[in-house]
């Protein structure tokens, strides 16, 4: 047979260790993995000196996300191009129903919006912001559409926050149909009080975003939701999204040791940046929730990433332009009016590779686990995605382990003119992305076509 693509001299990394050899691809799938494949192929790529990993799965993006009165600046085209440039071959984006909208029509809207634009493949999660009979009824129906993971909010009072009773009801219902519940764990009631206190004292600078959301707000909410979910039972599959404190990770790990299927995600910015960034003149760019923490917390997160206590890395890609962040004014607005969110999908790979692997904190196996294998299992995409096996989609990121890059907006692909990692120097960079057997990114250029990405419906989450 003639293969479509043959990758020669591959050094590939999976969760079970590295292997060296060749990979042959046919019809978008991995067809054969071997020592020295001699059969014909339409196209051959020599990957000597590079590292091959499964295409990253960014399980946390907000493209065209309506939030805090703005819609995020990366639509599915810009956002998924940025993903592809960063070696992310699948994003899992949050369907965000409008107030009063039912889940199925929100799902339809989200996929109709994404399909003509996506360059990466994509899956979907469902945000639930209110509870009524119709929404409860539709939970199994959206799961049937392949939306097997959900997100509920314990913060953002008056916008997305749900009270404990509704959180309980929803986790139970989602769990009854085999879905996974993602939780934004921060105590929104108390945060709202703290925000009002600071504002009444005239304390409006971006750093008060951090002071109004102290570590304990995340720790308390994580503890509370873990208690509530544990009461429902051991079938509940839950993960805390964008965890920013070591203590919140430890709470979840302690439940896991008791047999609960509870997990944590963290994001690249919590591993690399600290609260000092909020004090800079451009501190408004660094407003996200939970907020950036201390260096001590950063260290705790790295340790827990290395130990396997942190299950996935998602970018929480939620991009606002400078103008949006400043609400179209000259002056920086009060901290509570700055739309929450930062870009990140393109930076998962270089940050984890340089600060994690190159600095000797995590292995390549762990890198693969948290960037593709675990998200694929959590979101029901495994084994189609998240591994290098015959029959799996031929999705790969090709890392040049020695490439030195100074990060700036110029080398990135989001629809904004800044990056929160400006000036950061890393060693190790994605130089080629292959999505279902097609080279969609090479040497700085996204060549994948608009709309060529596919919706990948989630199946049953596989969690040990
Ligand atoms: O600040 C953030 N994280 N914005 C996006 C919404 C969310 O909570 O994930
Ligand atoms: Zn062919
Ligand atoms: Zn959140
Ligand atoms: Zn988010």
Residue 163 burial (CB count, 10 A): 12
**In angstroms, what is the span from residue 288 Cα to ligand 1's centroid?**
6
In degrees and rounded to multiples of 5, residue 220 shows phi and psi of -60, -50
CB 11 within 8 A of CB 47: yes
Gap between the Cα atoms of 434 and 396, Å rounded: 5
Contact between 421 and 405 (Cβ < 8 Å): no
Using CA atoms, how far residue 361 sits from 29, 155, 169, 252, 302, in Å, is 33, 32, 40, 22, 7
What angle is formed at CA 152 by the lines to CA 148 and CA 155, rounded to 5 degrees? 160
pLDDT at 463: 82
Q: Sign of dihedral through CA atoms 228, 231, 232, 236? A: positive
345-398 tens-digit pLDDT: 999 999 999 999 999 999 999 999 999 999 999 999 999 999 999 999 999 999
Write down the pLDDT at residue 105. 98
Q: How far is the CA of 318 from the centre of ligand 4 (A)?
A: 7
Confidence (pLDDT) at 249: 99
Say what the pLDDT of residue 92 is.
99
- Number of the ligand closest to the Cα of 1: 2
* Distance of alpha carbon 233 from alpha carbon 261, whole angstroms: 10
Q: Which ligand is nearest to the CA of 338?
A: 1
Q: Give the pLDDT confidence of 325-344 residue by residue, as tens digits.
A: 999 999 999 999 999 999 99
User: What are 407-441's pLDDT values in tens digits?
Assistant: 999 999 999 999 999 999 999 999 999 999 999 99
Place of tokens 């989609």: 393
- What confidence score (pLDDT) does residue 190 get? 98
Structure token digits, residue 448: 């994948």
Rounded distance, CA 378 to CA 459, Å? 10
Q: Report the atom number in ligand 1 closest to the C-alpha of 160.
A: 8
Which tens digit of pLDDT belongs to each residue from 132-188? 999 999 999 999 999 999 999 999 999 999 999 999 999 999 999 999 999 999 999
How far is Cα of residue 13 from the mean position of the Cα atoms in its chain?
21
Does an H or E element contain 237, and which?
A: strand 237-240
Pocket perturbation via mutation, ligand 1, pick of 266, 268, 340 by most ligand atoms within 8 A of CB: 340
Residue 3 Cα, ligand 2 centroid: separation in angstroms?
A: 6
Closest residue by Cα to atom 5, ligand 1, is 341
DSSP 18-53: EEEEEEEEETTEEEEEESS--S-EEEEEE-TT-EEE
Q: Is 327 helix (H, G, I), strand (E, B) or coil?
A: coil
Cα angle value 58/185/288 (rounded, 5°): 60
Distance CA 319, CA 331 (A): 20
pLDDT digits (tens, 9 = 90+) for 274-330: 999 999 999 999 999 999 999 999 999 999 999 999 999 999 999 999 999 999 999
| Burial label, 36 (beta-carbon count in 10 A; 0-12, 13-18, 19+) | exposed
Render pLDDT for 48-107 as a digit per residue (tens, 0 to 9).
999 999 999 999 999 999 999 999 999 999 999 999 999 999 999 999 999 999 999 999
Find the 400 Cα to ligand 1 centroid distance in Å: 31
> How many angstroms separate the CA atoms of 325 and 341, rounded?
9
Distance from residue 183's CA to the centre of ligand 4 (Å): 10
Tokens of 151: 């997100």
What is the ipTM for the molecules in this complex? 0.94
432 contacts 439 by C-beta, under 8 angstroms:
yes
C-alpha 315/C-alpha 321 separation (Å) is 17
Cα separation, 372 vs 54, in Å, equals: 7
- Residue 288 Cα: closest atom of ligand 1: 1
What are the C-alpha distances in Å from 73 to residues 125, 166, 455? 20, 31, 21
Ligand 1 contacts (CB < 6 A) are 62, 184, 242, 288-289, 316, 318, 340-341
CA-nearest residue for atom 7, ligand 1, is 289
Q: State the distance from the centre of ligand 1 to the C-alpha of 156, rounded, in angstroms.
A: 10
Read off the pLDDT of each residue in 102-124 and give the average, rounded to a whole number.
98
Question: Residue 116, SS3?
Answer: coil
Question: Which pLDDT band, with edges at 50, 70 and 90, does 443 fall under?
Answer: confident
Best mutation site among 337, 338, 341 for ligand 1, i.e. most ligand atoms within 8 A of its Cβ? 341
Say if CB 183 and CB 126 are below 8 A apart. no
Residue whose pair of structure tokens reads 């998924």 in the numeric block: 80
Quote the CA–CA distance of 219 and 185 in Å, as a whole number. 8
How many angstroms separate the CA atoms of 403 and 382, rounded? 30
Is residue 464's pLDDT more than 80? no
């Amino acid at each position: 047979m003639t293969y479509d693509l043959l990758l020669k001299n591959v050094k590939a990394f999976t969760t079970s260790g590295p292997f060296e050899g060749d990979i042959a691809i046919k019809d978008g799938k991995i067809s054969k993995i071997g020592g020295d494949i001699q059969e014909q192929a339409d196209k051959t790529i020599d990957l000597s000196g590079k590292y091959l990993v499964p295409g990253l799965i960014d399980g946390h993006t907000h493209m065209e996300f309506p939030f805090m009165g703005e819609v995020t600046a990366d639509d599915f085209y810009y956002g998924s191009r940025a993903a592809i440039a960063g070696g992310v071959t699948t994003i899992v984006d949050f369907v965000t129903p409008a107030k009063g909208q039912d889940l199925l029509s929100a799902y339809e809207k989200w996929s109709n919006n994404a399909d003509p634009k996506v360059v990466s493949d994509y899956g979907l999660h469902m945000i639930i912001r209110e509870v009524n009979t119709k929404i409860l009824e539709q939970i199994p129906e959206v799961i049937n559409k392949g939306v097997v993971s959900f997100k509920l909010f314990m913060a953002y009072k008056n916008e997305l926050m749900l009270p404990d009773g509704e959180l309980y009801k929803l986790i139970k219902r989602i769990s009854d149909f085999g879905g996974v519940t993602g939780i934004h764990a921060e105590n929104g009631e108390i945060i709202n009080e703290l925000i009002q206190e600071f504002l009444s004292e005239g304390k409006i600078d971006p750093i008060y975003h951090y002071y109004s959301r102290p570590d304990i707000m995340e720790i308390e909410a994580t503890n509370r939701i873990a208690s509530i979910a544990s009461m429902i039972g051991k079938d509940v599959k839950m993960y805390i999204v964008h965890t920013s404190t070591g203590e919140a990770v430890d709470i979840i790990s302690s439940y896991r040791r008791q047999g609960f299927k509870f997990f944590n995600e963290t994001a690249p910015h919590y591993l690399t940046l600290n609260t000092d960034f909020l004090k800079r003149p451009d501190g408004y760019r660094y407003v996200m929730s939970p907020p950036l923490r201390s260096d001590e917390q950063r260290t705790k997160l790295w340790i827990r990433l290395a130990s396997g206590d942190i299950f996935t890395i998602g970018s929480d890609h939620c991009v606002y332009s400078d103008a949006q962040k400043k609400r179209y004014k000259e002056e920086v607005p009060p901290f509570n009016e700055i739309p929450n969110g930062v870009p990140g999908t393109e930076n998962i790979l270089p940050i984890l590779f340089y600060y994690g692997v190159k600095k000797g904190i995590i292995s390549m196996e762990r890198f693969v686990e948290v960037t593709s294998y675990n998200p694929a299992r959590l979101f029901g995409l495994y084994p189609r995605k998240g591994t290098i096996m015959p029959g799996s989609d031929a999705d790969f990121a090709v890392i040049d382990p020695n490439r030195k890059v100074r990060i700036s907006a110029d080398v990135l692909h989001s629809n904004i003119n800044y990056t929160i990692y400006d000036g950061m120097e890393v060693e190790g960079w994605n130089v080629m992305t292959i999505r279902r057997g097609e080279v969609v990114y090479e040497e700085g250029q996204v060549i994948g076509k608009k709309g060529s990405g596919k919706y990948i419906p989630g199946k049953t989450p596989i969690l040990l």
